[in-house]
Amino acid sequence: MSMPTCPPQYDPQSLLNSQPVIITVIDPATYQVQFQNQTGLKRFGDITSMSCYEKITGCLAPCSFCRMPEALQSGEIVHNEVELPDDRVLLVQWSKTVTSSGLVHVIETITDISEKKRIERALQQVQKMEAVGRLAGGIAHDFNNLLTVINGYSQILSEELAGHPSGRSLELIKQAGHRAAALTKKILTFSRHHVFEQKPVQLNVIIRDIADLLKSLIGEHIKLAVSVDPSAGKVLADPVQLEQVVLNLLVNARDAMPEGGVISLETTNATLDATYVKQHPGSVAGQYVVLTVRDTGCGMDTETQAHMFEPFFTTKQQGQGSGLGLATTYGIVKQCNGYIDVSSSPGCGSIFKIFLPRVEAVVPETPTTNVSETRRESRKTILVAEDESAVRALLARILSEKGYEVLEAADGMEALKLMQQHASSCHLVITDVIMPRLNGPALAQHLAALSPNVKILFISGYTGDTVFTNGVGKDAFLLQKPIMPQALTDKVEEILCNC
The stretches in the chain having pLDDT less than 70 are: 1-4, 125-126, 128-138, 183, 185-197, 312, 316-324, 361-378, 463-466, 469-470, 498-499
Domain end among 112, 128, 156: 112
Q: Which of 112, 139, 159 is the last residue of a domain?
A: 112
156-183: burial string, b at 16+ Cβ within 10 Å, e else: bbbeeeeeeeeeeebeebbeebeebbee
Selection from 275, 255, 253 nearest residue 342 by Cα: 253
Which stretches does DSSP call E strand in 222-324? 222-228, 234-237, 261-272, 286-295
Residue 129 lies in a domain: yes
- CA distance to 156, 158, 163, 173, 314, per residue, from 168 (Å): 14, 9, 9, 9, 34
Q: Based on the domain organization, do 93 and 179 belong to the same domain?
A: no
Contact 479, 452 (CB under 8 A): no
Query: E-assigned strands of 22-122?
Result: 22-27, 32-36, 78-83, 89-98, 104-112
204 and 344 assigned to the same domain: yes
Separation of alpha carbons 476 and 448, rounded Å = 13
pTM for the full predicted model: 0.48
Same domain, 213 and 353: yes
What pLDDT score was predicted for residue 326? 85
User: What's 132's domain CATH number?
Assistant: 1.10.287
pLDDT at residue 371, as a whole number: 43
On whether both 158 and 217 belong to a single domain, the answer is: no
Among 380, 432, 486, residue whose Cα is nearest residue 156: 486
**Cα-based distances in Å from 464 to 195, 242, 248, 330, 478:** 5, 17, 22, 15, 11
> Residue 409 sits in which domain range?
381-496
Q: Check whether residue 69 and residue 151 sit in a common domain.
A: no
Residue 366 DSSP code: P
Estimate the crossing angle of helix 239-255 against helix 325-335, to 10 degrees: 140
How much is the pLDDT for 220? 84
Query: Given this model, what pLDDT does residue 67 score?
Result: 93
Residues 269-322 pLDDT 10s = 999 999 999 888 889 999 999 999 999 999 998 888 888 887 767 776 654 555
**Same domain, yes or no, for 123 and 101?**
no
Residue 350, H or E segment: strand 350-359
Cα angle 346, 347, 353 (rounded to 5 degrees) comes to 70
Residues 305 and 208 in one domain: yes
Q: What is the side-by-side order of every strand in the sheet holding 405-409?
A: 405-409, 381-385, 426-432, 455-460, 477-480
Query: What pLDDT does residue 4 have?
Result: 63
- Per-residue buried b or exposed e for 89-107, using 16+ beta carbons within 10 Å of the residue's own CB: bbbbbbbbeeeeeeeebbb
| Per-residue model confidence as pLDDT tens digits over 192-206 | 445 556 789 999 998
The SS3 call for residue 439 is coil
Distance CA 106, CA 67 (A): 11
Does 204 share its domain with 353?
Answer: yes
Domain match, 26 and 64 both: yes
Q: Are residues 216 and 328 in the same domain?
A: yes
What distance in Å separates the CA atoms of residue 244 and residue 252, rounded to the nearest whole number?
12
Number of domains comprising the chain:
4
The pLDDT of residue 364: 46
